[in-house]
């Protein structure tokens, strides 16, 4: 949780709107986790731990979260998340210690 | 011999060992890797078993004597626990990423389906030694037991259903192709006859008549979402054998806010009921008179109850944030709901809908009563 707050702090250092880091971390683990596993090492959906996402930059990953991947089970989260929240999630996934 | 040993153990260790297990159950505490032992009649938690690893999306089955449970963890762990002793009897890491399991009709074999490496592994229920390894080259879902020491399971990537007959010395595998694109879960009816798989990648479900010598895939509810925009699917629905209500199946639609009714004999559509959100579980009360439905994020704080005769929603309420699972008492007079984000299991009367009890639990998910030991396909 401390790590999550640090990341949130980083994300908030720029001009991004404030996001609820605690709620978003829960969201990643529980809701992303329903397909990608609670530890994010994969389930019906692929492994999304940092080492598996190295080929993504933050902006692309954030767009995948918002728009999904057509033709796969990855849904668009835009109805539920703002761009700032998706950016936070992308940063968390790329850098976070999700173990 | 085993019976003799058990009798001796009962005498030696006193009254705790003599506790009957018929109205007990286990609640998965997914974040802490533990199980709560619960007493259905007392509506109480009576113990905890710890050290089971990653229990997200965990499920379990019971030995025929209802004393032991086999717990299937997401981390590939297969753990045998003793409900009376509140202890882990044995634990093996059998795969990298598993999704569920089943126990054979004779109680002798436990099967686990795995995402990684894709396939099914079958273990001796006493020793947890592996007796068969059936790689499928695909994420494997919808594993159930059927009579005759057989297991049935389905391949997410390949769209095939396989039947593994374990009655002989070697597993005999029957492969059924053409089940449809991206099957995500399956159910089997309590008689072991009808196997239905839900499809993520197609606008129908597929049924098999397992009483046939050569079962053929039969599309059902073809085009149920035709002409309607599919909603984003934030959580795949679950199919369960208990979705049989009277003479009809109740099935959650994918990407739609509705449940679908199908005639259990000829598998034709008999109706639809619009629901509050996208259904995850649609579970019939054991008598079949009601169907209780929970929903995917962001509607997962709500439960709707549908009357089977009218197919109308007769009750709606919000038990709390993150209602993940429901388990009826075997005769259906009460239902237990796990409310993950409230850290509670809540017990309701299914006729009056009165709340009867709240039981503290750490991020509860699946609730499993021992009566499941005597049901095919659960």
Q: B362: which chain A residues are within 8 Å (Cβ-Cβ)?
A: none
Q: Beginning with the edge strand found earlier in the chain, give each strand of the sheet holding B119-124 in spatial order.
A: B97-103, B109-116, B119-124, B130-135
φ, ψ dihedrals at B78, nearest 5°: -115, 115
CB-nearest partner of A73 from B30, B31, B200: B200
Interface contact flag, B232 A31, Cβ < 8 Å: no
**How many of the other CB atoms lie within 10 Å of CB of B239?**
25
Reference B140, options B121, B115, B174, B167; nearest CA is B115
Q: B324: which 2 tokens?
A: 């993940």
Nearest chain B alpha carbon to A67:
B232
Contact assessment for residue B81 and residue B88, using Cβ atoms and an 8 Å cutoff: yes
Q: Beginning with the edge strand found earlier in the chain, give each strand of the sheet holding B323-328 in spatial order.
A: B323-328, B334-339, B344-349, B355-360
Contact assessment for residue A73 and residue A45, using Cβ atoms and an 8 Å cutoff: yes
Q: B30: which chain A residues are within 8 Å (Cβ-Cβ)?
A: 38
pLDDT of res. A10: 45
For residue B101, CA distances in Å to B61, B70, B129 come to: 7, 8, 15
Interface contact flag, A44 B54, Cβ < 8 Å: no
pLDDT of res. B4: 53
Model pLDDT for residues B294-312, shown as the tens digit of each residue = 999 899 999 999 999 999 9
Substitution target from B156, B297, B298, B365 for chain A, most A beta carbons within 10 A? B297
- Where b means 16+ CB within 10 Å and e means fewer, B312-335 reads ebeeeeebbebbbbbbbbbebebb
Q: Is B74 on the interface with A (CB under 8 A)?
A: yes
Provide the β-strand partners of residue B111: B102, B122
Q: A38: which chain B residues are within 8 Å (Cβ-Cβ)?
A: 30-31, 54, 56-57, 74
Q: B57: which chain A residues are within 8 Å (Cβ-Cβ)?
A: 34, 37-38, 43
Provide the β-strand partners of residue B251: B260
CB-nearest partner of A39 from B54, B233, B236: B54
Interface contact flag, A73 B233, Cβ < 8 Å: yes
Reference B325, options B59, B51, B144; nearest CA is B59
pLDDT of res. B5: 54
Residues of chain A with pLDDT under 70: 1-17, 97-99
Interface contact flag, B322 A30, Cβ < 8 Å: yes
- Parent domain of A37: 2-12+20-95
Residues of chain B with pLDDT under 50: 1-2
Interface contact flag, B97 A41, Cβ < 8 Å: yes
CA distance B115 to chain A (A): 7
What sign does the dihedral B179-A71-B141-B305 (CA atoms) show? negative
Provide the β-strand partners of residue B183: B199
Reference B248, options B279, B225, B271; nearest CA is B271
φ, ψ dihedrals at B77, nearest 5°: -75, 135
Nearest chain B alpha carbon to A71:
B201
pLDDT of res. A30: 84
DSSP secondary structure of B293-329? EEE-TTSTT-EEEEETTT--EEEEE---S-EEEEEE-
Q: Residue B316 and residue A74: Cα distance in Å, rounded?
A: 30
CA diameter of chain A: 37
pLDDT of res. B98: 82
Q: B97: which 2 tokens?
A: 């990423």
Reported ipTM: the value is 0.77
Interface contact flag, A31 B297, Cβ < 8 Å: yes
Number of domains in chain A: 1
pTM of the model: 0.89
* CATH of residue A67: 1.10.760.10
């Amino acid at each position: 949780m401390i790590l999550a707050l640090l990341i949130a702090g980083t994300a908030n250092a720029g001009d991004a709107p404030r996001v609820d880091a605690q709620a978003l971390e829960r969201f990643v683990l529980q809701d992303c986790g329903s397909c990608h596993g609670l530890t994010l090492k994969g389930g019906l959906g692929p492994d999304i731990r940092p080492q598996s996402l190295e080929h993504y930059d933050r902006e692309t990953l954030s767009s995948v979260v918002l728009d999904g991947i057509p033709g796969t089970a990855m849904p668009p989260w835009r109805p539920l998340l703002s761009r700032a929240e998706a950016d936070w999630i992308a940063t968390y996934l790329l850098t976070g210690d999700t173990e | 011999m085993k019976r003799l040993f058990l009798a001796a153990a009962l005498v030696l260790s006193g009254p705790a060992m003599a506790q009957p297990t018929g109205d007990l159950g286990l609640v998965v505490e997914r974040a802490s890797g533990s199980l709560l032992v619960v007493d259905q009649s007392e509506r109480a938690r009576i113990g905890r078993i710890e050290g089971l690893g990653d229990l997200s999306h965990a499920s379990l089955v019971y030995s025929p004597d209802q004393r032991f449970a086999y717990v299937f963890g997401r981390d590939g762990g297969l753990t045998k626990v003793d409900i009376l002793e509140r202890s882990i009897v044995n634990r093996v890491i059998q795969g990298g990423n598993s999704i569920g399991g089943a126990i054979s009709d004779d109680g002798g074999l436990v099967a686990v389906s795995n995402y990684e490496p894709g396939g099914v592994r079958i273990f001796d229920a006493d020793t947890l030694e592996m007796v068969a390894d059936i790689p499928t080259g695909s994420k494997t879902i919808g594993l159930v037991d059927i009579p005759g020491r057989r297991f049935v399971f389905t391949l997410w990537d390949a769209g095939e259903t396989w039947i593994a007959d374990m009655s002989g010395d070697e597993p005999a595998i029957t492969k059924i192709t053409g089940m449809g694109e991206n099957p995500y879960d399956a159910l089997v009816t309590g008689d072991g006859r009808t196997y239905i798989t839900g499809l993520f990648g197609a606008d129908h479900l597929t049924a098999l008549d397992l009483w046939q010598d050569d079962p053929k895939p039969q599309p059902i509810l073809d085009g149920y979402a035709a002409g309607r925009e599919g909603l984003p699917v934030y959580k795949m629905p679950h199919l369960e054998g208990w979705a049989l209500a009277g003479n009809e199946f109740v099935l959650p639609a994918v990407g739609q806010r509705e449940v679908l009714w199908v005639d259990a004999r000829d598998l034709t559509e008999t109706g639809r009921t619009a629901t509050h959100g996208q259904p995850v579980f649609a579970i019939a009360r054991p008598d079949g008179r009601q169907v209780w439905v929970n929903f995917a994020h962001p509607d997962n704080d709500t439960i709707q109850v549908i009357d089977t005769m009218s197919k109308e929603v007769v009750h709606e309420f919000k038990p709390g944030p993150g209602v993940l699972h429901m388990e009826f008492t075997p005769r259906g007079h009460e239902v237990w709901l796990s409310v993950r984000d409230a850290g509670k299991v809540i017990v309701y009367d299914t006729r009056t809908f009165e709340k009867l009890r709240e039981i503290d639990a750490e991020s509860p998910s699946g609730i499993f009563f021992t009566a499941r030991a005597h049901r095919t396909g659960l």
